[in-house]
A = this chain, B = another copy of it.
């Protein structure tokens, strides 16, 4: 890759100038940047240089492109502060934590509540359901006997071939034989843990992390070690390396692609280093790639599995967030654990429905999955922007939020004085459901955070729920609304 360094410097300089202007309030959130041609003339640079600068500003979350309209300054939400370099070992989630999970889960499931919390769509037309329905109906018309046949592992070869083909888009060289179909990603994680650990072992986790991992790990008799995770760049590899050197974990679960709840991604360089570390120390990495195909960026970045040398990475994912939530069809590529995983799946839940697998396979082969993914990413990106703008407007001064590069969840830290579990309970009385940060760690360090989910149609109820959450947080803290930095208010 040859880059003209002077050109490189020129557009970076231009981007930095505009970034300063945005940060010092010269360009306010929501304002439109001047036309590219005008900037090029004024700055005496080429149009390409301006475009490169704009792309850089976009990557940094400062501006956004609106089709047929130009570039706009994004609503400004500062990023959460770096986590201090802590490590926490806690064996078992306490009863209070389990009860909180139950309460949140029941509320998320309540049809009358406004949900700004659950990381899965319950309404709306985000998915190609009509097309999938036509494929299923056609399969049933031609082969009704599918229903009467027992599904046996390893299950639909057509689907496993399609999966292997698509996996190459993110740098993974897989064969149909190396793939095990699972009942969603949750089962893939569960099987991966059972294959790689023994009761009493310790598993490394990002912090914060997906809340259902805690009861799952506990149910398997596993201890946990929360490893520092930066809200913008993900798992701290320096901390991980220390942990590996000291032999403190027997497996690691991480979401290096798009992390839940942070929404952040590791760089390809860090993913490569992570793969190298796991292979060097021969400790299995359970890579949860649930949101990988929802990266806004194209081409998609490679997974950690793409850099796996000796099969120490177990890649787990699912189509529940991307195409057919109800089908619950997931898959895993288990590297050196492949044979054991195939066995475990058979005597843990046997196989997946052939009808659903064949429907999905046919959709992947000919249904326009990539076109669907592009449209889904655009909608989620727009939703995230709007949600962040509402937070900036309605949440208390001092609120910060992550800027996801894909998916539909992000992480908001409120001023320390605001306990978000209290906020959760107060909003629940108004039938608004958000997820308190306390769910995502066994420590008490996320008590002032919440995760928001943007996989819903942005209607007035949803907008009201976010603004109302902000208003209650302001009431609780006595702080004024306006999460943007004061100089931009």
Which residues of A line the B interface, CB within 8 A? 98, 102, 105, 108-109, 118, 120-127, 129-130, 132-133, 136-137, 140-141, 144-153, 182-184, 186-187, 190, 194, 198-199, 212-213, 215-216, 219, 221, 320, 324-328, 343-344, 346-356
Contact = CB atoms under 8 A, between A and B. Distances in A.
Contacts of A120: 150, 152
Contact of A347 (B148, B149, B216, B356): B216
A347 B189 CA distance: 10
Given A105-B346, A326-B355, 17 more contacts: A123-B149, A124-B148, A132-B144, A133-B140, A133-B147, A136-B136, A137-B141, A150-B326, A151-B328, A183-B187, A186-B349, A187-B348, A190-B349, A213-B347, A221-B221, A326-B353, A328-B353
15 contacts: A121-B150, A136-B137, A137-B141, A150-B325, A151-B326, A151-B328, A183-B350, A190-B348, A215-B347, A219-B347, A219-B348, A326-B355, A328-B352, A349-B349, A353-B356
B216 A325 contact: no
Nearest to A194: B219
Contact of A129 (B102, B144, B186, B219): B144
A79 to B, nearest CB: 29
A207 to B, nearest CB: 18
A355 B127 CA distance: 15
Contacts of A102: 343
Contacts of A153: 109
Contacts of A327: 147, 353, 355
Contact of A344 (B118, B213, B219, B350): B219
A109 B349 contact: no
Contacts of A351: 328
Contacts of A130: 144
Counted per complex, copies of this chain come to: 2
B122 A146 contact: no
A148 B326 contact: yes
A118 to B, nearest CB: 8
Contacts of A352: 328
Given A328-B350, A349-B186, A126 B109 contact: no
A136 B146 CA distance: 13
Nearest to A187: B349
A144 B349 CA distance: 27
A125 B148 contact: yes
Contacts of A133: 140-141, 144, 147
A181 B261 CA distance: 28
A464 to B, nearest CB: 22
A287 to B, nearest CB: 19
A186 B326 CA distance: 21
Contacts of A221: 198-199, 221
A219 B198 CA distance: 9
A355 to B, nearest CB: 6
A186 B150 CA distance: 13
Contact of A137 (B140, B152, B190): B140
A327 B327 CA distance: 11
A246 to B, nearest CB: 25
Contacts of A126: 148
Nearest to A131: B144
Contacts of A129: 144-148
Nearest to A345: B186
A120 B152 CA distance: 10
A395 to B, nearest CB: 27
Nearest to A214: B347
Contacts of A182: 349
Given A221-B198, A353-B327, A212 B346 contact: yes
Contacts of A344: 219
A130 B145 CA distance: 8
Contacts of A215: 343, 347
B151 A325 contact: yes
A127 B144 CA distance: 10
